[in-house]
Structure 1
Amino acid sequence: MKEILNEHFSGERALFQRNGLRISGTVFGEGESPLKHNAYIELSDCAFDAKYPVWYSEKVKLNNCTIRETAKEGIWYSTEINIYNTLIESAQCFRHSNGISLKNVTFTNGDETLWKCANIRMDGVKVKGDYFAMDCDGMEICGLELSGSNAFDGIKNATIRKSVISGSDCFWNCQNVTIHDSVITGKCFGWNSRNIMLVNCTVESLQGMCFMENLVLKNCKLPNTTLAFEYSDNISVDIKGSIESVKNPAGGLIRAESIGEIIMENENVDVTRTKIVCG
């Protein structure tokens, strides 16, 4: 591989269609598309100011790099992207990309980031921003810390472990998602989703888990959770502790130590399809 050390690039398409590069200590300054249509690129201790820094590229590795706020729409239409120990300050960083591995990565402005991507691995990632990870397929996540609304809208085939997620309306319109040993806070968790399982989780939600199908909660806690499970069908819920209120589940089993209020309206649901066990 050809080595590039301590350089400064600016302008448009600085390293267009260059392959087999090992780049370190380099700044991609004012301009756009410095790495476009590239392959087999390794970057370490580099910084990006240029817009659209990595597009239509494959087999790209970044270690200890910074993608600054000006580097808009950072990594799009790319495959086999591995990023470690890196700070990403720009919004909308990933779109339409496949084979993404993120380890010890921090997104300070993760708004509208990681949209319509596939085959994603995240370990020790921190995110602040709204609409993170929309319409992704195939996710393995561990140790995520996320603060922002409307995260994980429309994802499919995901497993999440040991994570803390805060912000309203997360995990809407999802399919085939399993969450282990995690804490989720914010109103309206999980609407319109199906085939969702939570194990050893704590979920705090106003009107959470409504309009869902095939929902399983195993050994979970629901503190400060009100009006839960409205119109959700085929649910199997095992709760440690209490639920403040449950409203009009469409069918299934709910077990809890106590439920503050149970609202079952014959004119809206068939109340015989739901079994509720307290104590």
Structure 2
Amino acid sequence: METINQQVFTGERALFKARNISISQSVFEAGESPLKESKDIKLNHDIFRWKYPLWYAQNIEASNLTLTESARSGIWYTHTISIKDSIIAAPKTFRRSSQITLDNVQIPHGLETLWHCKDIVLNNVNAVGDYFAMNSENMTVHNFSINGNYSFDGAKNVHIKDAQIISKDAFWNCEDVIVEDSTIIGEYLGWNSKNITFKNCFIESEQGLCYMDNVKLIDCVITHTDLAFEYSRVDATIKSTVDSVKNPLSGIIRSYGIDTLITDDETLNPNDTEYITQGETI
């Protein structure tokens, strides 16, 4: 493997179609697409300051990487890439890519990051920005935080554990999602989604959990959440009271009590949903 150390690269496509190269302690600036069409590349302590650094690339292993905010749309159409101990400060990173592993990565400007990607592992990742992971699938996420609206819109086959999620309209239009041991704060949680399970979660959501097909809550706490479960098929065990529930389609809701139950849609049979009060207010 060829080794490059402490170099500065400028100009468009500086290392176009690079193969089997280890690049360390180097800077890429003033030139688009420096590693476009590259393959079998190792990166360590490198800095990218320009747009489109890794397009159509394959087999990339990176550590201590820095993509500055100007390295926009940095990794598109790239497959089999791992990044650890790094900062991705550029928006719109990762588009239509696959086999992505991020470990201990900070994404402080993560607008429209991880769109239409698949086969993703995120471990100890912190992100800020709207529209995170839109239409992505096959995701395993652990020790994760996001502060940004519309996260995981249209995502499929997602398993999240130990997360802190502040996000309006999170998990819309999703299918086959499990969220465990997490805090979720944001309005209108989960609308239009199918087969969604929240386990041991703390949830605060104005008019959340509506228009859902097969939403399950297992030992969750719901606080300051009103008009919940409207037109949803639900199976819920809630370890708290609920401010209000409105017109669920069917199922069972176990809780410490519902302050206001609204059943004013005459097209629905209120007996299709069973309500069980159990436990104590916490």
Q: Same fold (TM over 0.5)?
A: yes
1:115-130 mapped onto 2 (5 Å cutoff): 115-130=115-130
1:76-225 mapped onto 2 (5 Å cutoff): 76-225=76-225
Per-residue CA deviations over 1:102-121 (Å, capped at 9, x if unaligned) read 00001111001100000000
Structure 1: 5+ residue runs without aligned partners?
A: none
2:34 is matched with: 34
CA distance in 1 between counterparts of 2:277 and 2:267 reads: 23
1:270 is matched with: 269
CA distance in 1 between counterparts of 2:243 and 2:111 reads: 32
CA distance in 2 between counterparts of 1:270 and 1:19 reads: 65
1:241 is matched with: 240
CA distance in 1 between counterparts of 2:6 and 2:52 reads: 21
Q: What is the CA distance between 1:18 and its match in structure 2? A: 1.1
User: SS at the partner of 2:222?
Assistant: coil
CA distance in 2 between counterparts of 1:136 and 1:266 reads: 35
Q: What is the CA distance between 1:257 and its match in structure 2? A: 0.5
2:5 is matched with: 5
CA distance in 2 between counterparts of 1:76 and 1:270 reads: 49
CA distance in 2 between counterparts of 1:266 and 1:188 reads: 20
Q: Which amino acid aligns with 1:9?
A: F
Q: What is the CA distance between 1:267 and its match in structure 2? A: 1.4
Q: Which amino acid aligns with 2:243?
A: E
Q: What is the CA distance between 1:266 and its match in structure 2? A: 4.1
Runs of 4+ in structure 1 displaced over 4 angstroms?
none
CA distance in 1 between counterparts of 2:275 and 2:72 reads: 51
CA distance in 1 between counterparts of 2:242 and 2:28 reads: 53
Q: What is the CA distance between 1:68 and its match in structure 2? A: 0.5
CA distance in 2 between counterparts of 1:50 and 1:11 reads: 10
CA distance in 1 between counterparts of 2:138 and 2:40 reads: 24
CA distance in 2 between counterparts of 1:41 and 1:237 reads: 48
TM-score, normalised via structure 2 length: 0.97
Per-residue CA deviations over 1:110-163 (Å, capped at 9, x if unaligned) read 001100000000000000000000000100000001100000000000100000
**How many residues get paired?**
278
**Compared CA separation, residues 7 and 229, structure 1 to 2 (3 A):** same
State whether residues 265 and 271 of structure 1, in contact with CA within 8 Å, keep that contact through their aligned partners in structure 2. no
Q: What is the CA distance between 1:20 and its match in structure 2? A: 0.3
User: SS at the partner of 1:86?
Assistant: strand
CA distance in 2 between counterparts of 1:30 and 1:6 reads: 17
Q: Which amino acid aligns with 2:245?
A: V
Q: What is the CA distance between 1:259 and its match in structure 2? A: 0.9
2:68 is matched with: 68
Structure 2: 5+ residue runs without aligned partners?
A: none
